Amino acid sequence: MREATGDSAAGPAPAGPEIVVSNLVKDYPRVRAVDGVSFAVAGREIFGLLGPNGAGKTTTIRLLLTLIRPTAGQIRVAGIDALARPAAIRQISGYVPQDVSVDGELTGFENILMYSKLYGLPRASRRTAIAEILDLLELSDRAGDLVRTYSGGMMRRLEIAQALVNRPRLLFLDEPSIGLDPGAKRVIWDLIRTLRSELGTIVFINTHDMNEADALCDRIGILNKGRLVTVGSPAELKATVGGDVLSLDSPAPDFAGHLRALGHAPMAGAGNGPHGPAGHAEILVTEGERLIPPLLEALRGRGVEVEAVSLKKPTLDDVFLKYTGTRIEAGDSWKEARRTRRTFRRMVR
């Protein structure tokens, strides 16, 4: 354990990936929560697991943090074998669980102080370290107040502060922006990016929010029913769905014929527009935003007026649909978590 403390923050990063998971399996009495998952996370990246509620994301993060033991498979975090030396991994990791992890009956400062002691921070540097973290998270002015008086966004920031107290080499966040309003969500995203760029923290997040995965992650693994279906950067993943969809409406007769003549065959089954099925066309293109001006120009040259144009970029939801045959059912887990949070605040008040 002590040797791990020594080389955690300051030491040079080892060659090779930071997290290596191979053939990971976790069985529960009635269900296989994680089913043969393998992936690697390189240094200095924000890696996300994207999947619906119950896909096995939280189980995976708990396995990585050595909170539970796998049924089969191997995990190495920062070169440490999770089964052999779990405490060493916990010492260099920070964890922001999906549920509440700060105590409402203590002040913000005390919540962090407690964890600084549990991680064995030396007494001499404790106060400075805590002050720095509170400052980074912009919580200094409320640090002396009981946490039950905090807003949801502040509680989340405090939870992140608490997870940073040991200067973790790896930070694990389970649904970091769940239940937060859009403003607070952006603050958390910016913060996570700052941690990666300024402290060099490796960030591992779980999310069911495809916008969050898209905005935040360098690479994403899509998890469905305990299986990892694909891994890649958001751009790579979206490219696998085919490209952008451009839909156009025009009153011109034989609109489809004109498009075909320009080399853009409309897709079948595009549906109806204000000028009937014949006046509505959808074409599959790459870099749609750059194509629109020359395409409209060319159509005008042929005497075809276009009334409306819209561009639909593929989303990670489309990627999810392609690989799993279903859409991510957003909503359930989100509402649930927010309810827990509210209940908590009400009960400790």
Q: Which residues of 206-233 are buried (b: 16+ CB within 10 A; e: fewer)?
A: bbbbbebbbebbebbbbbbbbbbbbbee
Q: Does 340 help bind another protein (rule: CB under 8 A)?
A: yes
Q: Does 25 help bind another protein (rule: CB under 8 A)?
A: no
Q: Does 336 help bind another protein (rule: CB under 8 A)?
A: no
Q: Does 307 help bind another protein (rule: CB under 8 A)?
A: no
Selected range binding another protein among 101-109, 196-204, 257-265, 279-287, rule: CB under 8 A: 101-109
Residues 186-245 that bind another protein (CB under 8 A): none
DSSP states along 27-48: EETTEEEEEEEEEEE-TT-EEE
Choose between 164 and 328: whose C-beta lies nearer to another protein.
164
Q: Please state the φ and ψ torsions of residue 227, each to the nearest 5 degrees.
A: -115, 140
Question: What is the closest distance, in whole angstroms, from the C-beta atom of residue 88 to another protein in the complex?
Answer: 8
- Closest to 206 in 3D by CA, of 165, 227, 177: 177
Yes or no: say if 130 and 107 are a contact pair by the CB < 8 Å rule.
no
Question: What is the closest distance, in whole angstroms, from the C-beta atom of residue 289 to another protein in the complex?
Answer: 43
Residues 131-160 that bind another protein (CB under 8 A): 146
Selected range binding another protein among 114-122, 199-207, 288-296, 324-332, rule: CB under 8 A: 114-122
| Separation of alpha carbons 168 and 159, rounded Å | 14
Q: Does 90 help bind another protein (rule: CB under 8 A)?
A: yes
Question: What is the closest distance, in whole angstroms, from the C-beta atom of residue 290 to another protein in the complex?
Answer: 47
Question: In what order do the strands lie in the sheet containing 202-207?
Answer: 93-96, 170-174, 202-207, 46-50, 219-224, 227-232
Choose between 8 and 315: whose C-beta lies nearer to another protein.
8
Residue that has been written with the tokens 């300024």 in this structure? 198
Q: Does 65 help bind another protein (rule: CB under 8 A)?
A: yes
Question: What is the closest distance, in whole angstroms, from the C-beta atom of residue 249 to another protein in the complex?
Answer: 51
Q: Which two tokens stand for residue 291?
A: 């194509």
Choose between 129 and 210: whose C-beta lies nearer to another protein.
129
Say which residues have a Cβ less than 8 Å from residue 236's Cβ, sequence separation at least 6.
Answer: none
Task: Please return the burial class of 253, using the count of CB atoms within 10 Å of its CB with bins 0-12, 13-18 and 19+.
Answer: exposed
Return the SS3 of 74: strand
Q: Does 118 help bind another protein (rule: CB under 8 A)?
A: yes
For another protein, the binding residues (CB under 8 A) are 1-2, 28, 62, 65, 67-68, 87-88, 90-91, 93, 95, 97-103, 105-107, 110, 114-115, 117-120, 146, 162, 340, 344
